[in-house]
Amino acid sequence: MHTPTDPVAVAALALAGAEGAAWVVALAAGIPATDDPWLAPVAGIACPPELETQPHDPR
Amino acid sequence: MTPADFALLPLAEAARLLRGREVSAREAVGACLARAEADAGAHAVWIELRAEAALARAARLDDGPVTGPLHGVPFAVKDFFELEGVRTTCGSSRALPAAQLPGRRTAASVRALEEAGAVLLGTLNLHEWAFGATSTNPHHGAVRNPCDPARVPGGSSGGSAVAVALGMAFLTLGTDTGGSVRLPASWCGVSGLKVTPGAIAADGCFPLSWTLDSVGPLARSVADLDAAWGVLSTTADGPVIARDPAAPIGLAGARIGVVRGDLTDTGRLDPAVARGVARALAAAEAAGARIIEIDLPATGEEIKAAQLTITLAEAANVHDGSRRAGRPLYGDDVQRLLAFGDLVTARDYIAALRFRRSFVRDLARVFDDVDVILSPTTPDRAEPIGAETVRWPDGSEEPVLEACIRFLLRWNLGGCPALGLPCGPDPLEPGGLPVGVQLAARPGGERLLLDLGRELEGLLA
């Protein structure tokens, strides 16, 4: 998490408190890395992945 | 049959009597209204009970032809849906500008129920902005658990679960972003279906986290849910792919997956929940189901990290712009969660979305080996109002908000339908709190869940 400078982020940090802000950082740190460059964060998740089409995907 | 008895009939039976004109729509609506009015706000179920409008609509139905399969059936909706001419509060303060404006159109799911003949009784209390698990609402009162008024019903669709439990409606609608239909269903002893995103139109439903939200019905039984599914499923607005097997599957021959660790982590599981779910598994196995131990493609902590990061970020964005100025009027807990969302970076949000994509892909392979996955709906039972933490048998403590969603988030993140139904109370605790069991299927598997759920609830009755 960057050090906020804009007023909204500063206010959010004040409201979240140090413990809350640390929780958000810990959550983010718990997300496994996804290295596959073709795995875009798009497409409806309702659609089974094998039926999705990704024209740019060479596989 | 007294009106009080009628209000507790199975939905299909009530609908049959109504279609056959053996009971009038006015009598049906009156029976549910009587129960709602007798409660006199004790359970803080309603945000707006629209008795006059409901009786007028019932009178029109009585004077006209039978309109559809749900002719005259009383239902109600979480106050999170746009309704033409009604001020939807989303559980927030009536002082907010958004709550002052009557809706311009009626949400697609509500419209479908009305077109099938169902009668809307009013709007139901919820956790403010659907952003929480207790339904302890600072503006409209703390919704009370129907089995113990000192306890919460769960949330965020708390009023929706209590209304059907107490016979104030035959069917209610809620929304489920991280368990908000299944959690209150479990803690109130009723059934709830979280559908594949898009399987019921989300049009006209206020967003909490739009890539994870889904609309879901609650009722007193799976059979009741099934009676409404034929209507609700016609509203599908997403790329839902029917993935049910060509031939119907019953429990005999069904492959039921149980996630390794779900039932063996007894140090962090209410013993009554463990016994209830074991009873459900034994019933399924005795009926011929094959129980298969499986692993999910991610740990619970990884799922929680991605799901909550997405929800926090999207909710903070929903409540940005013109709504940001209203945030000081929100309850303290929601203000804090939105502040957390303001702190999520774009980097982390994108990482969570990409992880979700891989989770969905890998989860599809798990369903190659099993038809459904069974788990407790929640590891704990209804918590006391005001409780902030759960104390587990091993002595550890966990925040209520994080504890109760342990088995729920995986199906929101995975985009799968999941059905919650009662499997208790615990025979060792007569009069004890309800326990829920959850069945999940691959995307589009609602029909399979309803079939297996109906069979299982018959065995557990």
Please count the structural domains in chain B. Answer: 1
Q: Which helix (H) or strand (E) holds B182?
A: helix B182-188
* Structural domain for B214, as ranges: 3-235
- pLDDT at residue B244, rounded to an integer: 53
CA distance B308 to B250: 35
Distance, in angstroms, between A23 CA and closest chain B CA? Answer: 8
When pLDDT is cut at 50, 70 and 90, the band that residue B248 belongs to is low
Q: Within a domain: residue B337? A: no
When pLDDT is cut at 50, 70 and 90, the band that residue B3 belongs to is confident
- pLDDT at residue A47, rounded to an integer: 43
N- to C-terminal Cα separation, chain B? 23
CATH number, domain containing residue B192? 3.90.1300.10
Sign of CA dihedral B450, B454, B459, B460: positive
B239 has a pLDDT exceeding 70:
no
Domain boundaries, chain A: 7-51
When pLDDT is cut at 50, 70 and 90, the band that residue A4 belongs to is low
How many CB atoms sit inside 10 A of residue B73's CB?
29
- Which residues does chain B have within 8 Å of residue A11's beta carbon, measured at their own beta carbons? 339, 342
Q: Residue B191: phi, psi to the nearest 5? A: -110, 145
Mutation target to probe the A interface, by most A beta carbons within 10 A, among B303, B311, B347, B357 is B357
B178 part of contact set with chain A, CB < 8 Å: no
Q: Within a domain: residue B449? A: no
- pLDDT at residue A49, rounded to an integer: 43
Give the pLDDT mean for B104-132. 97
Q: Mean pLDDT score of chain B, rounded to an integer? A: 94
CA distance A15 to B214: 29
Judged by CB atoms within 8 Å, which residues 310-329 of B form the interface with A?
Answer: 312, 324
When pLDDT is cut at 50, 70 and 90, the band that residue B107 belongs to is very high
Q: Within a domain: residue B75? A: yes
Nearest CA in chain B to A45: B415
Rounded to 10°, the helix B51-63/B25-39 angle is 170
Q: Within a domain: residue B32? A: yes
Cβ A44–B357 below 8 Å, yes or no?
Answer: no
The reply to whether ipTM tops 0.95 is no
B181 and B109 Cβ atoms separated by less than 8 Å? no
CA distance B10 to B419: 18
Q: Within a domain: residue B39? A: yes
**Residues B35-89: tens digit of each pLDDT:** 999 999 999 999 999 999 999 999 999 999 999 999 999 999 999 999 999 999 9
Nearest CA in chain A to B367: A48
Highest mean pLDDT among A6-15, B318-327, B382-391: B382-391
Give the residue numbers of B marked as catalytic: 78, 156, 180
CA angle B22, B24, B26 (to 5 degrees): 160
Percent of chain B with pLDDT over 90: 89
Q: Within a domain: residue B439? A: no
Nearest residue, CB atoms, A39 vs list B342, B352, B357 = B357
CA distance B150 to B143: 10
- Which residues does chain A have within 8 Å of residue B305's beta carbon, measured at their own beta carbons? 27-31
- pLDDT at residue B312, rounded to an integer: 98
Q: Within a domain: residue B262? A: no
B263 has a pLDDT exceeding 90:
yes
**Residues A40-59: tens digit of each pLDDT:** 766 544 444 444 444 333 33
Across-strand partners of B172?
A: B76, B218
B342 part of contact set with chain A, CB < 8 Å: yes
B357 part of contact set with chain A, CB < 8 Å: yes
